[in-house]
Amino acid sequence: MTHEHIPGLDLNNGVRIPQLGYGVFQIPAEHTQQAVESALEAGYRHIDTAAAYRNEAAVGAAVAASGLAREDLFITTKLRNGDQGRAREAFEESRSALGLDQIDLYLIHWPVPSQGLYLQAWREMEQIYSEGLVRAIGVSNFLPDHLEELLGEAAVPPAVNQIELHPTFQQQALADTSRRHGMAVEAYSPLGQGEDLDNAAVAQISQRHGATPAQVVLAWHLASGNIVIPKTATPERMRENLGALSVELSPRDMEQINELDAGRRLGADPATASFSQY
């Protein structure tokens, strides 16, 4: 499975994003360059990082060392909560850490409604976008209230809402609202941080297809139209996860996984999350 097999999704401004990418949250900075080099070698072309992950420089080093053409790569990073009042400076810090002239996708990491700064941050991001320093801008962890408020003010509508989404936490209403407003839905923690892989129904479907549980869960995301960014530290699993691209689920398989939704959020609740280190 190589990058030629990874389907692209067209965002609302025509920019194409590889639907299956590689996330680097919780990979320590000293291991990130090697991990991203392995991911690129395995065939990934879309890398998801964030200023808060403290590994942007290592992602940039891996990109530089890969020798791949810049236009063949898609790099996402995110604005830290504590930086919403200084989005321009924070963007420049990320761009410089990554060593890139242009970022492909820049996201507001969390809305932090208690801070009241995301509209201000969005205006700065629109300006950065208009200067061509980023190819698309979007949000992460935005709930319908936050989306409504942003859309009421935005000159550039967000291209993406990156949200926690996996079989036991499907957030169908939020995904539908995001799509209705033209945003692509990007699923973070797509494997339920590994916990959704032990599910009996997932195991049953895996057996039917001669595939692994991770491949089945990722194939379900892809067939649902989600962008996915699974994280793994090991090259074997990087390749395994790319193998999801050749798993074709039946309508019955899809229905069986749709029925696993249990409202089981693993991460923080965006309505109240306010950690400034993010």
* Residues carrying an active site annotation: 53
- Which range in 3-11, 57-65, 169-177, 189-197 contacts ligand NDP by CB under 6 A? 189-197
Angle, helices 251-258 vs 213-224, to 10°: value is 100
56 binds ligand NDP (CB under 6 A): no
Q: Please report, as residue ranges, which positions from 87 to 116 form the binding site for ligand NDP (by CB under 6 A).
A: 109
Angle made by CA atoms 271, 106, 113, in degrees to the nearest 5: 20
Distance CA 77, CA 162 (A): 12
Can you give the C-alpha Rg of the chain in angstroms?
Answer: 18
Q: Which is nearer to ligand NDP, 229 or 245 (CB)?
A: 229
* 18 binds ligand NDP per the rule CB under 6 A: no
Question: Is residue 216 within the footprint of ligand NDP (CB under 6 A)?
Answer: no
Using alpha carbons, list the distances in angstroms from residue 16 to 47, 102, 178.
Answer: 14, 15, 18
Least distance from ligand NDP to the Cβ atom of residue 52, Å? 8
3-state secondary structure of 240: helix
Nearer to ligand NDP, 48 or 124 (CB): 48
Position 191 contacts ligand NDP (CB under 6 A): yes
Region of 17-25, 80-88, 111-119, 167-175 interacting with ligand NDP (CB under 6 A)? 17-25
User: Residue 71 in contact with residue 60, Cβ under 8 Å?
Assistant: no
Decide if residue 156 touches ligand NDP (CB under 6 A).
no
Q: How far is the CB of 182 from ligand NDP (least distance, A)?
A: 19
DSSP single-letter state for residue 183 = P
The secondary structure element, H or E, covering residue 74 is: strand 74-79
Pick the binder of ligand NDP from 188, 221, 256, 257 (CB under 6 A).
188
Residue 169 binds ligand NDP, judged by CB under 6 A: no
For ligand NDP, the closer of residues 100 and 217 by Cβ is 217
Quick check: helix, strand or coil at residue 9?
A: strand
Q: Residue 259 and residue 168: Cα distance in Å, rounded?
A: 9
Select from 32, 55, 162, 199 the one that contacts ligand NDP (CB under 6 A): 162
In whole angstroms, give the CA distance from residue 51 to residue 49: 7
Q: How far is CA 189 from CA 94, 185, 192, in A?
A: 23, 13, 5
Closest to ligand NDP by CB, 141 or 178 = 141
Among residues 6, 20, 24, 75, which is the contact residue for ligand NDP, using CB under 6 A? 24
Taking the complex as a whole, how short is the minimal distance between the CB of residue 196 and ligand NDP, in angstroms? 8
Q: Which residues pair with 162 in a beta bridge?
A: 140, 186
* Cα 157 from chain centre: 18
Closer residue to ligand NDP in complex, CB, 167/251: 167
Query: What residue type is 248 in one-letter code?
Result: E
Q: Which stretch binds ligand NDP (CB under 6 A): 115-123, 168-176, 223-231, 250-258?
A: 223-231
Pairing state of beta strands 134-140 and 160-164? parallel
Contact residues toward ligand NDP (CB under 6 A) are 23-25, 48, 109, 140-141, 162, 188-194, 197, 214, 229-234, 237, 240-241, 267
